[in-house]
Every structure is written in structure tokens, then in C-alpha cells.
Amino acid sequence: MRKEIRLAGTGGQGLLKAGEILAEAAGVYENKKVIQTQSYGPEARGGASKTDIIISDEEILYPKARQVDVICCLSQKSVDAFLKDLKDTGIVIVDSFYVKRCNAKNVFPLPLSTETRQKFGRELFMNIVLLGALAEITKIVTVDSLRNALANRVPPATIETNLKALDLGVFIAQIKD
């Protein structure tokens, strides 16, 4: 098994942190081979941002994502920029508030930002909500592995809220089915 996942959006949405959590969940808690790379614009907030995570049962010989299995986009700009890298059989998870068009076969438009704002009063935890939805839809990692990785990657005072955000993402993906 080899899966290439891209999390993309704008700076400030926490996607690089989400990529680190996903990589740790797969590598440390599921004993997979993992490479995580990231790219972001020079702006502190609002510029383009993406992180690629390759998860495999075997050694990863090339560290760049070439044919992405899953693309998660939290902005229209990221869909427009990265959809070309999606495999024909790949899936796309998008935030239905910020992404208005996505011409892919397997698209999951989810109300990630809307539900995050409603539950937490702001979008701060949308990256973690996305991880819950990603795990539920793709089964690339288990939610338990994400829970363990979260505990290592977020400030201790926010662990409980982040765990609630993860559960919210799972719920959103389940009601979409």
C-alpha cells in the first residue's frame, strides 16, 4: 500500500500542523513508512499552503508526491492549483463554504468551516476537523492513531478541544454518506 495525501489551503488554516499529526499517526502509531513535506508562500497568513504526506508499507524511494490519491482543499485557490495532481481514481475532500467548484469524479464537499464555527465559535480547529473527516472517509489511518498523535502535537491546554474537533470531523463525514 502506498498513498499520497495532499492537504492544501491558505496560510493560517493549520494544514502544516495537520500534516505533521497525520504523518505521526501513520508512522509512529501504525508503523508505516512516512514522508511529509510542506510548502507555503512568504505571507504569514493568507498565502498558499500545502503539505504532502506519503504513507507506505514499503520504503519510500522518492519523497515528492506525484500522483495524489487524496487531496483535501480548504480554499478554491488550492482546488484550482492542485486538482491536476490527482489520480483518476483519487478523491477530493473540500470545504463546502470556501470551495464552490471542483471538477473531480470523487468529491466530498463537507461543511467543515461552517460546522467548526458553529461548534467552537471560530475556525481555529478546522484543520483537526478535516483530519477526522479524512480518517473516516479514507481509512488511511485510524482515528485512535490520530488521537495519540494529537496529544503529542498540540498544546496541553487544547487537547480536549482538539479531540472534540476530531470527533466532529468523523461525524460530518458519517452524515455525508
Residue pLDDT, tens place only, 70-89: 999 999 999 998 999 999 99
CA distance 128 to 107: 19
Residue appearing with cell numbers 481509512 = 139
Q: Burial level of 162, CB count in 10 A (0-12/13-18/19+)?
A: buried
Cβ neighbours for 150, distance < 8 A, ≥ 6 positions apart? 21, 128, 159, 162, 163, 166
17 close to 38: Cβ distance less than 8 angstroms: no
Q: What are phi and psi of 70, to 5 degrees?
A: -140, 130
The closest alpha carbon to 158, from 17, 52, 37, 46, belongs to 17
* C-alpha distance from residue 162 to each of 22, 91, 123, 127 (Å): 14, 25, 12, 10
> For 94-133, how does the pLDDT look when each residue is reduced to its tens digit (9 = 90+)?
999 999 999 889 999 999 999 999 999 999 999 999 999 9
Task: Check residue 44 and give its pLDDT.
Answer: 52
Q: Which cell numbers hold the place of 72?
A: 483535501
Instruction: Write down all domains in the chain, each with its CATH number in brackets.
Output: 2-111+142-159 (3.40.920.10)
CA distance 152 to 173: 25
- Which residue would you say has higher pLDDT here, 22 or 45? 22
Task: Check residue 66 and give its pLDDT.
Answer: 85
Residue appearing with cell numbers 487544547 = 158
